[in-house]
C-alpha cells in the first residue's frame, strides 16, 4: 500500500533556530510538507493528510492521527503540522473515504454514528491507515503512535483493541466506550487519555467502565481529567460558550499538549531520534 502524492501539494516553510518543542529541538531548517496521501482497499479510495519534514532523511517515529467527526480538515492539518515540526511523520486517517468532510452537527453525527455502531468497520478503516503509514519509506514501523481527537480517539482505541503493534496511544477528549471491552487484552502499548471532567460523552460512569476495562487487561494507563472542561477542549473552533457540551478550553489544551509531549518523551518516541 503506497502513498500517491498529489501534484498540487501544500508546502509550508518553517524556519527556526533551536526552538524548544518539549521533546528535543526542531532542526534549524525544517521544510514542513503537507500533501494528500492516497491509499485504498478493493472498494474505496482514501485521502488522508500526510505531513512531514522534507529535510529529515532518516526513518522517523510516526503518528497515525484519528480525525474529529468532520474528517480530515483544517484542525487536524494544523495539529499534524505541529507534530511534524517536532520531527514526526504524520498521517491523518481518512475514515469516511474520499476525504469526505461532513459539516459539523447533524451531518457529521450521522457519518460518525455509522462507525460507532459498526466497530469492526471502524477498526478496518483504522487498520488500512495504519498499514499505509507503516509502509511509508520515511517511517520506522516499530515507532508508530496512534493519536486521536474526539471520534478519532475512539478510532485509535479500537485500533489498539484490534491488536495493532503500536508504540503508544494518545487520546484527546475521546469517546471511550466499546462493545468489546474484552479486546483490551490485545493492547500492546501504554495508553494516555486526556479528558474533560464535564464532557457529556465521557461522564463518570463511562470513565469508571473504561478504567476497569484497562485494569482487567493490565494496560499501562494514564487517565488525566481536567475540571471545568467539556468536549473538544483542544479545538478553538468549538467556541467559548461554556453552557454547551463542547467548548475550547485554552488551559486544558495547553496542559494536555504538555502531557502528551512528556508521555512520548518517557517512551523515547521523540521525532528527533
Average pLDDT of the segment spanning 189-204: 96
Cell of 148: 486521536
Per-residue confidence band for 29, with pLDDT thresholds at 50, 70 and 90: low
Give yes or no for a contact between 224 and 252, defined as CB atoms under 8 angstroms apart.
no
Average pLDDT of the segment spanning 65-71: 97
Q: What is the pLDDT of residue 25?
A: 35
Residue 17 has pLDDT above 80, yes or no: no
Rounded CA separation 72/52 (Å) = 16
Instruction: Categorise residue 234: left if φ over 0, alpha if ψ from -120 to 50, beta otherwise.
Output: alpha
The 8-class DSSP code of residue 103 comes to: P
pLDDT in tens, 75-97: 999 999 999 999 999 999 999 99
Q: 45: how many CB neighbours lie within 10 A of its CB?
A: 13
Give yes or no for a contact between 67 and 152, defined as CB atoms under 8 angstroms apart.
yes
Cell of 143: 515507532
Residue 18 has pLDDT above 60, yes or no: no
Per-residue confidence band for 191, with pLDDT thresholds at 50, 70 and 90: very high
Rounded CA separation 228/79 (Å) = 23
CA torsion through residues 134, 140, 143, 144, sign = negative
Q: Domains, the chain, ranges and CATH?
A: 10-222+258-266 (3.40.50.1820)
Q: What is the pLDDT of residue 16?
A: 31
Q: 250: how many CB neighbours lie within 10 A of its CB?
A: 11
User: Residue 231: which residues within 8 A CB-CB, separation 6 or more?
Assistant: 150, 173, 196, 199, 200, 201, 238, 245, 246
Rounded CA separation 220/237 (Å) = 32
Average pLDDT of the segment spanning 179-197: 98
Amino acid at each position: 500500500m503506497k502513498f500517491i502524492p498529489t501534484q498540487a501539494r501544500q508546502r509550508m516553510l518553517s524556519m527556526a533556530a533551536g526552538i524548544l518543542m518539549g521533546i528535543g529541538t526542531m532542526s534549524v531548517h525544517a521544510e514542513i510538507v503537507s500533501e494528500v496521501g492516497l491509499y485504498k482497499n478493493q472498494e474505496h479510495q482514501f485521502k488522508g493528510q500526510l505531513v512531514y519534514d522534507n529535510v529529515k532523511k532518516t526513518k522517523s517515529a510516526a503518528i497515525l492521527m484519528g480525525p474529529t467527526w468532520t474528517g480530515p480538515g483544517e484542525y487536524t492539518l494544523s495539529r499534524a503540522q505541529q507534530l511534524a515540526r517536532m520531527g514526526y511523520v504524520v498521517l491523518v486517517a481518512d475514515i469516511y473515504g474520499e476525504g469526505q468532510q461532513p459539516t459539523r452537527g447533524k451531518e457529521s453525527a450521522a457519518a460518525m454514528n455509522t462507525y460507532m455502531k459498526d466497530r469492526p468497520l471502524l477498526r478496518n478503516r483504522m487498520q488500512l491507515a495504519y498499514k499505509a503509514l507503516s509502509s511509508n519509506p520515511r517511517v520506522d514501523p516499530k515507532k508508530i503512535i496512534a493519536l486521536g481527537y474526539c471520534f478519532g480517539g475512539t478510532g485509535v482505541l479500537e485500533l489498539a483493541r484490534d491488536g495493532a503493534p503500536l508504540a503508544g496511544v494518545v487520546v484527546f477528549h475521546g469517546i471511550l466506550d466499546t462493545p468489546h471491552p474484552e479486546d483490551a487484552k490485545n493492547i500492546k502499548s501504554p495508553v494516555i487519555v486526556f479528558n474533560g471532567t464535564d464532557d457529556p460523552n465521557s461522564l463518570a460512569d463511562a470513565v469508571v467502565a473504561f478504567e476497569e476495562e484497562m485494569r482487567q487487561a493490565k494496560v499501562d494507563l494514564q487517565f488525566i481529567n481536567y475540571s471545568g472542561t467539556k468536549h473538544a477542549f483542544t479545538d478553538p473552533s468549538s467556541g467559548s460558550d461554556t453552557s454547551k457540551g463542547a467548548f475550547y478550553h485554552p488551559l486544558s489544551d495547553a496542559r494536555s499538549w504538555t502531557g502528551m509531549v512528556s508521555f512520548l518523551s518517557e517512551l523515547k518516541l521523540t521525532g528527533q531520534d
